[in-house]
Amino acid sequence: MDENVLTIDIEGNGMVNPLFCEYPAGKNWGAILKGTNAANMTRIFLPKKDEIIDMSAVEPGDAFEVGGDCLLANGRRIKDRQYWLILGKTDEDGQIFYRNCGTPAKVLKAMREFASANSIDANSPVVDEDGEISIIEDHLLTAA
């Protein structure tokens, strides 16, 4: 598996927020990002309950932001966010495969590149029944 591809478990399409802030004034969320660049970005916030984010609306190729901002008693705000390109998803009790892109600009660029390359070609990622990611060319070679 590609070392840049990360996984996170989901159960019933729910994912535990890996950045969850337990402080009472903490803000926790998961959002699908849309837009042409980071200055023109909108967030579609996903339903959540405590540390669980409902990931049923997330599809391969989505730019995704997960966050857990903490506001400390001294007024200091700690912003903790990650920006993922969603590469694949097994079933509702499986895993999500993603690449952490680091910034909103990078994840939106990766989303555009994924969309333009999504006209299935030999280098497109494939998630098989076991959750293994390969490119279509490898998949076709092994399936033949």
Among 57, 51, 59, CA closest to 15? 51
The answer as to whether 76 is a domain residue is yes
State residue 3's pLDDT score: 65
In a domain, 108, yes or no: yes
Q: For 124, how many CA atoms within 13 A lie in the half-sphere containing its CB?
A: 16
Distance CA 75, CA 136 (A): 50
Determine the average pLDDT of the residues in 34-52: 95
**Residue 139 φ/ψ, nearest 5 degrees:** -65, -45
Q: Residue 43 corresponds to which tokens in the numbers above?
A: 């967030």
Confidence grade of residue 73 (pLDDT, cut at 50, 70, 90): confident
Classify 61 as helix, strand or coil: coil
pLDDT in tens, 107-141: 999 999 998 887 555 455 666 666 666 655 444 44
Q: Could you give the CA distance from residue 105 to residue 122 in angstroms, rounded to a whole number?
A: 27
Q: Is residue 68 part of a domain?
A: yes
* 22: in domain: yes
Q: What is the mean pLDDT of residues 41-50?
A: 96
**Amino acid letter at 98?**
Y
Task: Note whether residue 21 is domain-resident.
Answer: yes
- Bridge partners (DSSP) of residue 123 are none
**pLDDT-above-90 percentage for the chain:** 65
pLDDT the model gives residue 138: 47
Is 64 within 8 Å of 100 (Cβ atoms)?
no
For residue 53, pLDDT beyond 60: yes
> Is residue 1 in a domain?
no
Q: 77 in a domain, yes or no?
A: yes
Mean pLDDT on 96-106: 96
What residues make up the domain containing 29?
A: 6-143
Is 83 a domain residue? yes
Q: Are 103 and 69 in contact (CB under 8 A)?
A: no
Number of domains in the chain: 1
Confidence bin at 40 (pLDDT 50/70/90): very high
